[in-house]
Amino acid sequence: MEATLDSLALGFSVAFRPDVLFYAFLGCLVGTLVGVLPGIGPLAGISILLPVTFGLDATKAIVMLAGIYYGSQYGGSTTSILMRIPGEASSVMTCIDGYAMAKRGRAGAALTIAAVGSFVAGTMGVILLTVVAPPIAKFALAFGPPEYTALLVLGLLFLAYMSSTGLPRTLLMAAVGLLLGCIGIDVMTGHFRYSFDIKELGDGIGIVPVAVGLFGLGEILSTPSKTVTEKVVPPRLVELLPTATEWRQSVLPIARGSVLGFLVGIVPGSAHIIASFLSYAVEKRVSRTPEEFGKGAVAGVAGPESANNSASTGAFVPMLALGLPTGPVTAVLMAALLIHGVPPGPMLVNEHPQVFWGFIASMYVGNLMLLALNLPLVGVFVTVLRIPYGYLYPLIIMFCIIGVYEVNHSIVDVWIMLIMGVVGYLLRKFDFDPAPLVLGLVIAPIFELSLRQSLIMSNGNWLIFLERPIAQALLCICVLLLGLSALSLLLKRRDWRAKLAQAEAGEDPSGG
Amino acid sequence: MQMRRDHVAGAAMLLAGVLVLAASTDLPFGTLASPGAGMLPTLVVVLLLALAGLLLLGAGASPPIAAIDWTDATHALRVVAVTAAAVALYLPLGFIASIALMLFVLTFLVERKPFLIALAFSGGATLLAYLVFGTLLNAPLPRDFWH
């Protein structure tokens, strides 16, 4: 514990440097805007701004990009409460009771509860991250190629199991991502794969054009401007302070949401979305007045908002400790670290303590900044919301083009982004979730390398994955997940994932 | 038989899998003890084909293909066409001309905003972006054709 506190002190000495503070603030500000604006999520925001960080050192880059991620969870609540439009997918549940509170003239209180809940949960999440990540990283030092192969398979299966679109569809997307990740020179043999004499494809397909295309452009193509309403229920800023009863009603949901969110965040999948959904369900279940849900229940805002913030912090545990991205956002953050020559994983704590602890300490500071930023500036964010979407999306397309081009100064990347935008649009039409595709693309090189190394190590014996205890345990969990999915498919049960899909589609799963 | 959403999705995935398999013929699979460049792609394509088959098998439970809402397709097509034109002109015309043109066409022709406002918006936004990215952040944006 003493060693952890010493390391944290080192982290704070990095995080309190004026330049690092500036980039943390910038990340939080951009993240809040990204969360506020419909049609642009944290993934597109991070991807577009990734090239801007090339001139920075790894610490400042990751501090800023992570600020965008957790900042967007804060910002997403603003549109949910004031417009009933989730600025970010994880704010879907906040729409239900947040907007109902706004209609009753309690918009200010709902925004404050969401911001305070997000702050408490974010800080609790960072405390848990501080405690949990280093021991996991130490444990992961025992991992060899077979363990990593099993871990990556488990990650993909977990993602598929947790997905609201179903296991076959999610695995299909992951397979497409893995295939895209195979494009380019094979690092072990030097063979060109699927590059069709296009020299730019020799280095493979970059994650940024794919992510920006699928999530930035794809989202714009699926959002015709006439469907975006600019009708806002304006908050009365004098009524920002919740009443004593509202505070009392929000304490336990915030605490429960924080713990639940962190635990869900560690598991691969769209953690922040699932966490807010589960938190809503838990709050409704434990409430003495469940009939209030859907009509402006304080717990319906406090719980989900806390859970999605805590989950976004929890998602950093596998990324930092194991080098395993659990979702597309952490995948892009991992790519950012790799670009800066800092490979995330068990060695990160020892080899780059300033980056690791500086990043963690910056999140404590970032959460404070977000609290200070979100409440007084709510009026500014409401003004941003009034920018007609017909002007907003052309700007987003411009940022997409700049962001993608600046990564490699390659126009081929921009074409890939455009193609991926169309693919993302079509995938949405056919009810495919593009997130596993990005994850597949990111893990393809790690997965291929560890799989081939394992086979070479064992002289071609597949049993190596079953002979090593950690790999064996991980694969047992994989079999269990497949069994559970098959069971659910056979019984045609309408479980929580079906309800999640309903909520993501914008319907009220509470029936309210 | 009524054509359903997953019939089309499954068939498209099957076709994609077969095409990738055809493009993989020159990649050596290697042996298990010495895996080649074609091993992972082949394994993944087999998985893809199996999952696409599974999708086709369960397609009867998916909504009819006609139930997919394509009302936004015209708008999406316009946006893609304008963006594609801007990307094609990005290097020949440079950042300022191609992006300003794209913003103007999107706001004036696609979104039917007033001419002068669209003109001011596209010019102002492009110049601001050029100042921020090109000047402040020193990002090497493509220069115009006369440079």
- Full 3-state SS string of B90-124: HHHHCHHHHHHHHHHHHHHHHCCCCHHHHHHHHHH
Domain boundary residue among B67, B86, B109? B67
> pTM (2 decimals)?
0.79
Q: Are residues B131 and B77 in the same domain?
A: yes
B146 touches chain A (CB under 8 A): no
Judging contacts by C-beta atoms under 8 Å, the chain B residues touching residue A391 are 107, 111, 113, 121
Judging contacts by C-beta atoms under 8 Å, the chain A residues touching residue B68 are 429-430
Q: Are residues B98 and B48 in the same domain?
A: no
Phi, psi of A76 (to 5 degrees): -60, -25
Q: How high is the pLDDT of residue B117?
A: 96
Task: For tokens 């090239």, name the residue.
Answer: A51
DSSP A6: H
**Contact between A193 and B91 using a beta-carbon 8 Å cutoff:** no
**How far off is chain A from B63, nearest CA to CA, in Å?**
10
Q: Are residues B79 and B26 in the same domain?
A: no
Q: Is residue B145 part of a domain?
A: no
Q: Are residues B53 and B12 in the same domain?
A: yes
Domain boundary residue among B48, B67, B86? B67
Q: How high is the pLDDT of residue A198?
A: 82
Tell me how many residue pairs between chain A and chain B have CB atoms under 8 A apart: 160
**How far off is chain B from A4, nearest CA to CA, in Å?**
37
Give B37-88 pLDDT, tens digit per residue.
Answer: 999 999 999 999 999 999 999 888 889 988 888 988 999 999 999 999 999 9
Question: Which of A403, A440, A363 has the alpha carbon at shortest distance from A172?
Answer: A440
Torsion angle in degrees (nearest 10) through CA of B14, B17, B23, B25: -100
Q: How high is the pLDDT of residue A511?
A: 44
Q: Are residues B120 and B79 in the same domain?
A: yes
Tell me which residues of chain A have a pLDDT lower than 50.
Answer: 510-512
Q: Is residue B11 part of a domain?
A: yes
Q: Which of residues 40-59 of B touch A (CB under 8 A)?
A: 40-41, 44-45, 47-48, 51-52, 54-55, 58
**Contact between A397 and B106 using a beta-carbon 8 Å cutoff:** yes
Angle between helices A435-457 and B39-57 (to 10 degrees): 130
Q: Are residues B59 and B108 in the same domain?
A: no
Give B74-127 pLDDT, tens digit per residue.
Answer: 999 999 999 999 999 999 999 999 999 999 999 999 999 999 999 999 999 999
**How far off is chain A from B119, nearest CA to CA, in Å?**
12
Q: How high is the pLDDT of residue A512?
A: 39
**Contact between B33 and A460 using a beta-carbon 8 Å cutoff:** yes
**Contact between A418 and B80 using a beta-carbon 8 Å cutoff:** yes
B103 touches chain A (CB under 8 A): yes
B120 touches chain A (CB under 8 A): no
**Contact between B32 and A460 using a beta-carbon 8 Å cutoff:** yes
Give A462-502 pLDDT, tens digit per residue.
Answer: 899 998 998 999 999 999 988 887 787 777 655 556 666 66
Give A242-252 pLDDT, tens digit per residue.
Answer: 888 989 999 99
Q: How high is the pLDDT of residue A493?
A: 57
Q: How high is the pLDDT of residue A44?
A: 74
**Contact between B83 and A418 using a beta-carbon 8 Å cutoff:** yes
Q: Are residues B81 and B50 in the same domain?
A: no
Q: How high is the pLDDT of residue A228?
A: 56
Q: How high is the pLDDT of residue A374?
A: 76
**Contact between A222 and B133 using a beta-carbon 8 Å cutoff:** no
Q: Provide the ipTM.
A: 0.94
| CA separation, residue A227 to residues A77, A167, A388 (Å) | 20, 31, 11
**Contact between B47 and A175 using a beta-carbon 8 Å cutoff:** yes
Question: For an interface test with A, which of B87, B130, B136 has the most A Cβ atoms less than 10 Å from its Cβ?
Answer: B87
Nearest to B37 among A193, A430, A462 (CB): A193
Q: How far is CA B104 from the centre of its chain?
A: 22
Asked whether the beta carbons of A18 and A207 are under 8 A apart, the reply is no
Length of chain A: 512
Asked whether the beta carbons of A78 and A371 are under 8 A apart, the reply is no
Would you kindly state where each structural domain of chain A is located, as residue ranges?
2-226+234-504
Total domain count, chain B: 2
B4 pairs with which residues across the strands? B64
Q: Is residue B118 part of a domain?
A: yes
- DSSP letters of A331-369? HHHHHHHHHTT---STTHHHH-HHHHHHHHHHHHHHHHH
Q: Are residues B62 and B19 in the same domain?
A: yes
| Nearest chain B residue (CA) to A194 | B23
| Domain of B49, in residue numbers | 5-67
Judging contacts by C-beta atoms under 8 Å, the chain A residues touching residue B137 are 52, 55
What is d(CA A263, CA A258) in angstroms, rounded to the nearest whole number? 9
**Contact between B90 and A189 using a beta-carbon 8 Å cutoff:** no
